[in-house]
Structure 1
Amino acid sequence: MELRQLEYFVAVAEERNFTRAAERVHISQSGVSAQIRQLERELGADLFDRSARVVTLTVAGKAALEHARAALAAADAVSQAVGEVADLIRGTLTVGMVVGCTVTPLFDALATFHRAHPGVEISLLEDNSAQLVHAVRGGTVDLALIGAAGAIPEGLDALTIIDERLVAAVPNGHPLARSRRITLRDLVPHPIVCMPVGTGLRTVFDQACATQGLHPSIALQAGAADAIADLAARGLGIAILSDSMAAHYRDRLVALTITDVTTPALLALIWRNPRGPATRELVAHCRRAFA
């Protein structure tokens, strides 16, 4: 008795027709018939009543059907289990991260994963959040750290790392430094330093401005928070950062709450489901690292 014979038997039982079963398993009708006959000889009983136009199961066939399905499912489970082990022994994993990423727990997770599964080859690439979302959806990136505006991209699983509001950051001598709370209209007369288009922070800022019909002057763009803070500290523009980012630069910048920007900026790990064993393991490492 062979697994392919059981596969053909189940196909005929479910299709109730040898021709349709043959199309389903991608062999000729005569091939299916021959294998079913061989299986019946081995079992010593007819599995199908072929006297009518529609093929029906005999009593023996009905008794065999669920066991055949269980045998095929068990074979699939064996194949999957071996495949998952193989993927964690000599697989590949492509990880994306937003440009300018300095979120060290991600690097910690990659390091612990590498120590646990040294045979898995890890590729790391930087891009803007929009491109990384597209890559995860398309399957060219397994897991990515992105910025998002208010919500996780639809159709993907995620682990939210940061969920916080935008702030404007200015040096102490700036005209707005004493305000502490401002609106988007207060920012419009001043040059802005912010993340490039396609990042989560920039999306939140652009959407909020568009809602009010405002057109701020984007003087400079940089992918790293350090660069944005340095440019703002030198008086080249008002920095648009997240609250936790701005906190790192309180020695040279004053963080101002933008009262009419309520959509949060998210930093999140995203992946597609179902995910492979290597991705699943890395997600587990990331959950521990970010905890």
Structure 2
Amino acid sequence: MELRQIQYFIEVAKREHMTEAADALHVAQSAVSRQIVNLEAELGVDLFIREGRSIRLTPIGHVFLKRMEQAMDVIGQARREVEESLDPEKGTVRVGFPSSLAAHLLPTIISAFRKKFPDVKYQLQQDSYRQLIESVIRGDIDMALLGPIPSEERRVKSEILFVENMVALVPTNHPLTSKDTITLDDLRGDAFVLSPQGYILRDVVMNACKQHGFEPEVSFEGKDIDAIKGLVSAGLGITLLPEITLVDSLPRATAKLRINEPRVTRTVGVIIPRDRELMPTEIVFYEFLKNFFGTLNEYQ
């Protein structure tokens, strides 16, 4: 069994069309057909059912595809590891991030890292909180920036980079805008704009309010930070957001209020897989993260 045969097989299996697979591989269709026939002959089974010009996988073909994709992932990772071992400063970092860290934190980190390691490449994945955790576990990415850090997921290793405050965002005509700071109890009677159920930021806000003796009335929901800001800007309610999401500017017709009783916070950090090693370049990036925020925390 040759590596080329596996590559051809995977491409044909994905497209279920010999000609399209050949075009994608930039080879003649006859070459692809010949390699598939040779592979089936070597294995002693039919991997495909031929139906005119289209083909589809047999049941054993599906099993073989899954295993071969896993094998190609291992080969690809081995190749990356060899290349990056020769020069970790020219490899690739595969990192995920949620929307709440996209506008300020991620650009700040990458900008600082690129000054030291300008030749490193990046594969960035923005996704939901729980999907990022699963992506790290599956190996789609090797680390993810998250807030808050998961405390009960044993399949990943977590490193807290810093703790940040949650602040209230209210319309500018809200009675509380005359105050420098507020208490969480001041918001007890307000309508809240929050993420939908199942989103981690909603859980952070709901848990903080419940611990303070009330459950917020949710008037509207927004699936991302910008949507929530927009709804508050329209005067449809108030919300609590991580302070980092408001660093650069406030939405029009809104005010940011600090909460001093009790402080509502979330941890922000990075997760990596517990059962596999990071690639050499990613180790450099991971250590940079810890040192970068360690220095900032000491300064603060």
TM-score by length of 1: 0.56
Structure 1 residues 1-291: aligned runs within 5 Å: 82=82, 85=85, 88=88, 93-100=93-100, 101-102=102-103, 103=105, 104-108=107-111, 111=114, 115-117=118-120, 122-148=122-148, 154=154, 156-179=156-179, 180-184=181-185, 186-197=186-197, 200-211=200-211, 212=213, 214-224=215-225, 226-246=226-246, 248-249=249-250, 252-257=254-259, 259-260=261-262, 262=263, 264-273=265-274, 274-287=277-290, 290=293, 291=295
Contact 2:170 2:256 in 1 (8 A): yes
Query: 1:218/1:143 Cα in 2 relative to 1: closer, same or farther (>3 Å)?
Result: farther
Q: Is the 1:161–1:268 Cα contact (8 Å) retained in structure 2?
A: yes
Deviation (angstroms), 1:99 = 1.9
Distance 1:239 1:177, change over 3 A: same
State whether residues 159 and 268 of structure 1, in contact with CA within 8 Å, keep that contact through their aligned partners in structure 2: yes
Aligned in 2, Cα 1:218/1:96: closer, same or farther, shift over 3 Å? Answer: farther
Query: What is aligned with 2:29?
Result: none
User: Is the contact between residue 167 and residue 241 of structure 1 (CA under 8 Å) also seen in structure 2?
Assistant: yes
Q: What percentage of residue pairs aligned between the two structures are identical?
A: 23
| Letter paired with 1:167 | V
- Structure 1 stretches lacking a partner, 5+ long: 1-80
Contact 2:161 2:290 in 1 (8 A): no
Letter matched to residue 283 of structure 1: Y
| Distance in 1 separating the partners of 2:279 and 2:260 | 42
138-147 or 196-205, which moves further after superposition? Answer: 196-205
SS in 2 for 1:116: coil
| Per-residue deviation, 1:255 | 0.5
Report deviation, 1:265.
0.8
Which structure's CA Rg is the greater one? Answer: 1
Contact 2:184 2:261 in 1 (8 A): yes
| TM-superposed deviation, 1:110 | 6.2
* Cα deviation digits, residues 120-145 of structure 1 (max 9, x gap): xx321111222212222332221111
Shift of 1:153: 5.3
* Cα distance change, pair 89–116 in 1 and its aligned pair in 2 (3 A): closer
Looking at structure 1, the residues matched to 199 and 112 of structure 2 have their Cα atoms a distance apart, in angstroms, of: 23
| Number of aligned positions between the proteins | 207
Q: CA 1:82–1:138 in 2, change beyond 3 Å: closer, same or farther? A: closer
Q: Is the 8 A contact 2:96 2:132 kept in 1?
A: yes
SS, match of residue 279 in structure 1: helix
Aligned residue for 2:189, secondary structure, equals coil
**Match in the other structure for 1:51:** none
* CA positional deviation for 1:195: 4.2
SS at match of 1:217: strand
SS in structure 2 opposite 1:201? helix
Secondary structure, counterpart of 1:115 in structure 2: coil
Gaps of 5+ in 2: 1-80, 296-300
Q: Structure 1, residues 222-247: CA drift from partner, whole Å, max 9, x if none?
A: 423x5533432331211211244456
- Per-residue CA deviation, residues 74-102 of structure 1 (Å, 9 max, x unaligned), is xxxxxxx9575268498654210102511
Displacement of 1:282:
1.9
Q: What are the Cα deviations for residues 151-203 of structure 1, in whole angstroms up to 9, with x where unaligned?
A: 5855544443431232222133213333532335x435332223455555332
- Give TM-score scaled by structure 2 length: 0.55
TM-align CA RMSD: 3.8
CA contact (8 A) 1:151 1:266 kept: no
